[in-house]
Structures are given as structure tokens and as C-alpha cells.
Structure 1
Amino acid sequence: MTPLSRYSSFIAAASWLVSPHVSPLSGGAILVQDGVIKASGLLEELKRDHQVPVIEYPDCAILPGFVNAHTHLELTHFPAWRLRTNVNYNPRRFVDWMIQLIKIRRGIGAEEIPSSITEGIRLCLESGTTAIGEIVNNPAHAQLYRSSLLSGRLFFEIIGQDQHHFNRMLAAALEACSTASDRQLHSGLSPHTPYTIAETFLPRISAVSDNLPLAIHISESAAETDFIFNSNGPLAEELFPFLDWKRHLTPPRRCSSTELLDRAGLLKPSTLAVHCVHLTLGDAEILKQRGVSVVLCPRSNERLDVGRAPVALLRKLGIPLALGTDSLASNDTLSLWDEMRFALNTFSRELSPADVLHMATIGGAEALGIGATHGSLEPGKRADFQVVKIGGEGTRDVLERVLFHGMLEDVYLAGDRYAAATFQDSFFRRRQIDASVVPSPNLQ
């Protein structure tokens, strides 16, 4: 995505201003100065107080850029890889899918990963996502993300049953965290799952991650529940032999994934618990006590047939919720618009449009530790926002019309707006801005 030249100051106005925690504002606008939102309110009031160019979007709504709290962008080209690698292994269960994923990934050369990541970044930006919680398998790829205009947090992945492999991954992840953080993309660690890291290594991760947020896949499948509690089931009988990990099998732990991680000190307010499909009441209470945020990935869970997260329980306990797409190895798109609409249909009794908007904006930003600068249209926050043509008629209110029928028109990152040529997918349209409103060829 190539940014157009930026006005140092301008007003963006639409028929509605839509931001979490507040009612949609008719005739709303935001004042942008040097890539930051300086004021928001009624267009007429901002025009009266600030003599700057005005970009108007009639019949549209301005929303914050979305925050995709859980992604694996290196797997963006997975559907194409699957077609060409001749892996004759069709998944029927979660463990089958994991083995298929590993087989296909092993057949892909390292030189193909950068283009897959770059495509994932493009798909995020062009569907209104401006910040991500990305799982990075190879720290050498961090610069690809940092050279983009995405913001958020990079969680450097740690996997290992073998001491040597674990030490190498942990050292590389810690080095990446110490050298690569910046104001745009912060750093964190991702201990992959409780079953892909030896239990004896978990306290060590806790000891070295005092100031680092964590992202951990927790209780994604029933197979994980069986494995952690009884050391049996498909993970023990199929995945571990496939990975030559049989010697690393442990006696039954008689606990859940959440309890295991809590004992190791890995659950803290800056921890993201991803998926959480098979949580018990006791597990959820532990997450609540530790201040953990949960990232839901409902389309991925549906695709892999692992069940549905206990959203009613999580909401009853007041556990902070965010939304993620996971990867294109287990999802159809990287669009949070698609994820939100699926969540609204799937959890129609548990989640309202306002709840889902919160999860995709400020909820995700707070989960990633960037809520002070992202996730809403409040003054002082980075000017990451999207413009959406309002669709739908009838009795639906503005927020419902936007979420169920909205059509993306424009995306801004830190005050930069993007050219029409970047919106090539048939799912998106862009409205040409009237030259009489913004008299600059740089914005055409």
C-alpha cells in the first residue's frame, strides 16, 4: 500500500462518527494534525474553530481502524501452498489439521515467507485493520512488519520440547524483543501452547518475561484438554509421534491448560489467552483473577470444528474480550468485518453490535497494551480510521447498518490516506473526493 501525501492538518467529516463507548454522532468529524486526532465533534464546530481543509464523506461513517488481536500473517499464502505441495492428507479433526499444516509448511522454502507476510499486511490494511497482534515465528522477519504502516505488537513465538531447540528459540525471541521495539510495533513473547513447550520450561519463560506481554493459545480443542489432563488422546498418540516427541510425554498432570500456565506464573494482566474454547468455570475464574484478556477467533474455531468459546461465561465474569482472525490456514479472510459479522450471527444472544465493535477496536487495543493511542476516535490517539459507506435500510439503527451492511471506502493510517489502486479486491470500493472540497492533486 502506497500512502498519498499527507496534509499536516485536515478535518475528516461524515454523516456519522462511530466510536466505542459513545453513541454514533450525526454530522460528526475529527480534526487530524500531524497524524494524531486533535479533536472530535460536530463538523460545524470544528470548521468554525480550525481553518484547515475538509474532506467530506456524505452517507458514510467514520470508524476507528480495527485491531486484529491475533494473526499469523506468514501463513497468508497457505491456501496456495496447500494446492501445490501435494500433501495428500485431508484434515477431519484438529490434530489432522495440525499435521497437515506442519507437512505443508515444511515443504515451503524460507524465501517464500516474506511475500506471504507482505500479502497479509496488504489484506489487513485494505480491510480496515490498522493494528495487529501478530505471532512471529522467525524474528528475522520483524523488519517486514516494521517497514509497513501497521501498528500493534509482535509476539515472537517459542516452541520446544528439546532443551537445545527451546534455548535457541527463547534466546532469539528475547533478542528480538530487546532490539526491535519501536513506537509503532511493540514486542512480546508467544509461548505457543501448553503442549508444544515442555512443562519444565514454562517457569523459565515466566522468569524472563516480567516486562513483556504474552500471547498463548489456550484450550483451543478437546484434544488439548485430554492431553494436558491425562497425557493421552490424539495429541499424544498422533502428533507427538509425528514430531518425534514421544520421549517427551509426561505422566498425567490432572489439571487444565489454564491451571498449568497459572502454576508457572504465565498468566498476568498483560497476557492474551487466545481461543479459550474449552474453558471450565474454574479456568475462567483464574483468568479473571489474573486480569488476563481473551482473544476470540470464532471463524477459525468453526472451520476446525473445535467448538465455540463460552462467551456468556466470559462476559458474566467481566473478562476483557478482543477479536482475531487467526490465519488463512484456518480462515477464509483476514477481514475483521467478516469476523464481526460472523460473531454477531453466532453469538446473537451474547453479543450486541456495540459489544463486537468494542472487541474489534478498543478491546483489541487494550489487550495489546496500546489502548492509550489506538482503538477509538478520541483526541490524542493516532489518526488510524476508516470510512464506511452506510448500507441497509429499515428499522436497523446506524451501528447495525454499519456493521451488517457497511462498505469500506477509505483507510487512513496516522493521517495518511491511500490511493484507489490499492483497493483492488471486489469487496471494497473507494469514493473519489471532490476536488472542490480538497483542492490538492496529491489527494486524488
Structure 2
Amino acid sequence: MTSFPMDNDSFIVAASWLLSPEAPPLAGGALLVRRGRIGDLGTLQRLRRDHPVPIIDHPGCAILPGFINAHTHLELTHFPSWRLRSQLEEHPQRFVDWIIQLIKVKRGLTPDDMRASAREGIRMCLESGTTAVGEIVTARTLAPLYRGSRLSGRLFFELVGHDNSRFRELLREAVELSGESPAGSFSAGLSPHAPYTLGEETFPLIREAAAGASLPLAIHCSESTEETNFVFSSSGQLAERFYPFVGWERYLPPPRRCSTSQLLERAGLLTDSTLAIHCVQVSRADAEILRKRGVSVALCPRSNERLDVGRAPVALLRKLGIPLALGTDSLASNDSLSLWDELRFALDAFGDELSPADLFRMVTLGGATALGIQGDHGSLEKGKRADFQIVGQAGKRESGLVERVMLRGVVEDVYVAGERFDGERTSP
């Protein structure tokens, strides 16, 4: 491997293979990195001839796009240690028990706790080959930290509540923060959390704000039977335990006699810029609604297993052509923030429905498209940001290459906007 000063405007990174979704593997492939972007790509032989610049060679490896984690809560990265500190050592198996524990833990946190946790989450993403995320932001003061980091993607500012006046203020603040995203870093969006944490009178406010500011939405949708029971009949553990716990008894809605997807469609919150997260408890009729409205879905299979809420009907979603992405959720309900871990779990869980090539697309161009950032991310193409990873154990044979890399590949290096990652730096 040849090294050189990393402040050079241009250099070439080469490997045994260049792997990008929707393109055939390229043997002896290379990228020209120029001022943080992909200036050219092709065989090393051609790039060496056309561009007399320094070369970093990674024999036996493959160059892949940086992965796109479509659903994260990086501010919860330190949750396992917070739980121990709060002397809440149990791992709740029921969904509502988990929500209540999460709220109890968060009530004891300081702004410094949240900053340190988010910073660690950013580092963990980057070191595992993830270069962009769809991050749910509840602590608004963290926005500068994300934007000052080397990670990129989209920040979805979370919206929760029933009180109309307080909710309007929360929404106004979220829209204002959304307008502060600098180009090339994080785009913005809104995250109406879930139907059980929002009053229906807030739905038109969200719809109008999102349309007025051209902001996409990310919504936790049909994650559990507790949610579907609550939406349909205002019954079950969310009504009986969660609402009294947070003091929302007076906001308990009358039975809606519909599904989550039907409720959100009626509210006008399902559009082609909506990301529906989880979608475990969806029927054929629900899936048809998602398809008709052009909604993308972020699957989080390890989180779903940890919380014992079921498995998403992947075969149905794929049959209907619903765009899929993959997310890790948070360390409050998962063991790591690595999309490599997530996709390998998904291969075991959905082996009959998702191939290695399917999952490769879901964590690259699929994730970028779901977040609306595909113009800069998700594939190795001229003009895009030079966000890519060097993955070892690629081997020499093209036969079975994608499967081999997905199953056995090891991240050896990560480049973000053309700069090699060697530890996270944040400015704020």
C-alpha cells in the first residue's frame, strides 16, 4: 500500500474489486478522489494513465460505497450504561415495558450525557463503514454536533405530544432547525414519532409544515401489536399502562377502527417522501396503501427481535415493489450500530426473501433513496461524495463475490468525503 499526505487534492484508491449497486463488479477497479468527490472511476490501469497522482492500493480487497443506515437514534448509544447507572438492569421483553424503561432512563440524563452518547454513536457508525444515517433527533441541542461531524445524511426532528399549544411550539422549533442544515452535511426532515404519541389534531399541522418547508417525514409505523391494538380500539398496554405513566389519560382517543397505515393515509402523512419505520404488523391492505402512496420502508430486524414484536412481512413488501432500506435503530434495542451485523442477521432471518445482493442494495442506494440523499450517496459514481469503505477478504473470483463480501467481508478502511477516517472529530 502506498501512502502520501492526505491533504492532496487528488489521489487514486485501488483494490481488487470495485463493487457498487446496480453495476457489475469491476476487477482491478479504482477511484480518483478529487477534492472530496469521485472524480473518475474505472480500472487502475486506465486511471493511472489518465491521472498522474498518488495511488493507495488495497490488493485482495473490494471498494464499496459507504453504507447508509436508514434509521438511527445515536443519542441513545450509551443507553446500556445509563440503564445500569439507573439500577434498571433487566431487559424488558414486552414493548410497553421497554418504552417505560426508556423514559425512566432518559429522565435522569444531562445535556452532557446526550452529547457524549451521540458523539460515540457517530464514531461507531463511521468505524463500521456507515457514512450516512437517517437520525431521529429528540435533543435539539445536538443538531450542531451532528452537523459538525464527518457523518452525513438526514436529521429527522422528532415530534411528540397532544397539547396543541405546546405542540405548535415544538413544530415551529423543528422547522426552524430544519432550515439551518448546511449543504453537504445533513439534510433535514420531521419525525412524527408514532400514532400513539400524537394527537390527531396535530396531524394537519404536521402535514402543512412538511409541505410548506418541503420536509420529508420519518414515522414509526406498525411496530407492534400493542400499537395496532391502540390505534384500532384504544385498548391494550399502551392505553392501560403507558398513557397513565406519562399523564396522558385525558388524551386517550376514541377507537378509530382502522390500522396505522389507514390512519396515517387519512391524515395525509403517507407520501413518496415518507419513510415508514419497522412495518412489522402490516396486512396486505396496509402494504397496498404504502405502495400506492410511494412510501419507503426501513426494516430493523434485530430491534424487532429484541423487543419481540414479530418480523416484517418482507416477501409481501417485495412482491408489491415497496422500496426497502435497513436500519439498526438504537443501542436501547440492539447490540451494535453496524449495518454489517444487521444485514448478516437479515440474511439469516429472511434468507428466502432477501439475497446478499438485495441487502447490499438496501444498505447503499436503497438507504440513500429512502432518505432522499441519493444524489450524493449510496453508489460509486462520478461526481458523488467520496464516501467509501475498503473491505477485506474479497478474494480473486468474481463468482459469488457479492455473497462472499456480504458474509465474510471485514472493514479495513473508511473514507469520508475523500478523507481516511481515523477517529471521529466534531467541532461543537
Same fold (TM over 0.5): yes
1:133-174 CA deviation, whole Å, 9 max, x = no partner?
A: 000002221000011011110000000012233123212111
- Tell me what 2:62 maps to: 61
For 1:105-124, list aligned pairs within 5 A. 105-124=106-125
Do the aligned residues in 2 keep the contact of 1:301 with 1:308 (CA within 8 Å)? yes
Do the aligned residues in 2 keep the contact of 1:64 with 1:375 (CA within 8 Å)? yes
Q: Distance in 1 between matches of 2:291 and 2:222?
A: 16
Are 1:45 and 2:39 counterparts?
A: no
- Tell me what 2:148 maps to: 147
Which residue identity lines up with residue 355 of structure 2 in the other structure?
A: S
- Tell me what 2:352 maps to: 349
- Tell me what 2:93 maps to: 92
- Tell me what 2:24 maps to: 23
Secondary structure of 2:196's counterpart equals coil
- Tell me what 2:419 maps to: 416
Do the aligned residues in 2 keep the contact of 1:90 with 1:96 (CA within 8 Å)? no
Which residue identity lines up with residue 42 of structure 1 in the other structure?
A: T
Cα RMSD (Å) of the superposition? 1.6
Do the aligned residues in 1 keep the contact of 2:188 with 2:215 (CA within 8 Å)? yes
For 1:1-400, list aligned pairs within 5 A. 5-87=6-88, 90-210=91-211, 211-390=214-393, 397-400=400-403
Give the 3 Å change call, closer, same or farther, for CA 396–221 of structure 1 in structure 2: farther
**1:396 offset after TM fit, Å?**
7.0
Which residue identity lines up with residue 16 of structure 1 in the other structure?
A: W
Secondary structure of 2:179's counterpart equals helix
Do the aligned residues in 1 keep the contact of 2:61 with 2:395 (CA within 8 Å)? no
Which residue identity lines up with residue 238 of structure 1 in the other structure?
A: R
Q: Which runs of 4+ in 1 moved over 4 A?
A: 391-396
**1:415 offset after TM fit, Å?**
0.6
Which residue identity lines up with residue 324 of structure 2 in the other structure?
A: L
Structure 1, unaligned runs of 5 or more = 424-444
Secondary structure of 2:364's counterpart equals helix
Q: Distance in 2 between matches of 1:242 and 1:154?
A: 29
1:216-252 CA deviation, whole Å, 9 max, x = no partner?
A: 0000000000000011011001101111111101111
TM superposition score normalised by structure 1: 0.91
Q: Distance in 2 between matches of 1:393 and 1:33?
A: 28
Q: Distance in 2 between matches of 1:33 and 1:221?
A: 46
Q: Distance in 1 between matches of 2:185 and 2:222?
A: 31
1:235-282 CA deviation, whole Å, 9 max, x = no partner?
A: 001101111111101111001111111111111111100000001111
Count of residues in Structure 1 that have an aligned counterpart in Structure 2 = 418
Give the 3 Å change call, closer, same or farther, for CA 332–384 of structure 1 in structure 2: same
Structure 2, unaligned runs of 5 or more = none
Q: Distance in 1 between matches of 2:395 and 2:313?
A: 31
Q: Distance in 2 between matches of 1:360 and 1:203?
A: 32
Give the 3 Å change call, closer, same or farther, for CA 260–73 of structure 1 in structure 2: same
Do the aligned residues in 2 keep the contact of 1:87 with 1:103 (CA within 8 Å)? no
Which residue identity lines up with residue 284 of structure 1 in the other structure?
A: A
Do the aligned residues in 1 keep the contact of 2:25 with 2:398 (CA within 8 Å)? no
Do the aligned residues in 2 keep the contact of 1:296 with 1:321 (CA within 8 Å)? yes
Which residue identity lines up with residue 381 of structure 2 in the other structure?
A: E
Q: Distance in 2 between matches of 1:89 and 1:349?
A: 34
Which residue identity lines up with residue 178 of structure 1 in the other structure?
A: G
Give the 3 Å change call, closer, same or farther, for CA 358–62 of structure 1 in structure 2: same
Which residue identity lines up with residue 128 of structure 1 in the other structure?
A: G
Secondary structure of 1:180's counterpart equals coil
Q: Distance in 1 between matches of 2:218 and 2:238?
A: 21
Give the 3 Å change call, closer, same or farther, for CA 388–181 of structure 1 in structure 2: same
Paired-residue identity, %: 61
Q: Distance in 1 between matches of 2:80 and 2:251?
A: 32
**1:181 offset after TM fit, Å?**
4.5
Do the aligned residues in 2 keep the contact of 1:206 with 1:265 (CA within 8 Å)? yes
Q: Distance in 1 between matches of 2:345 and 2:89?
A: 30
**1:295 offset after TM fit, Å?**
0.4
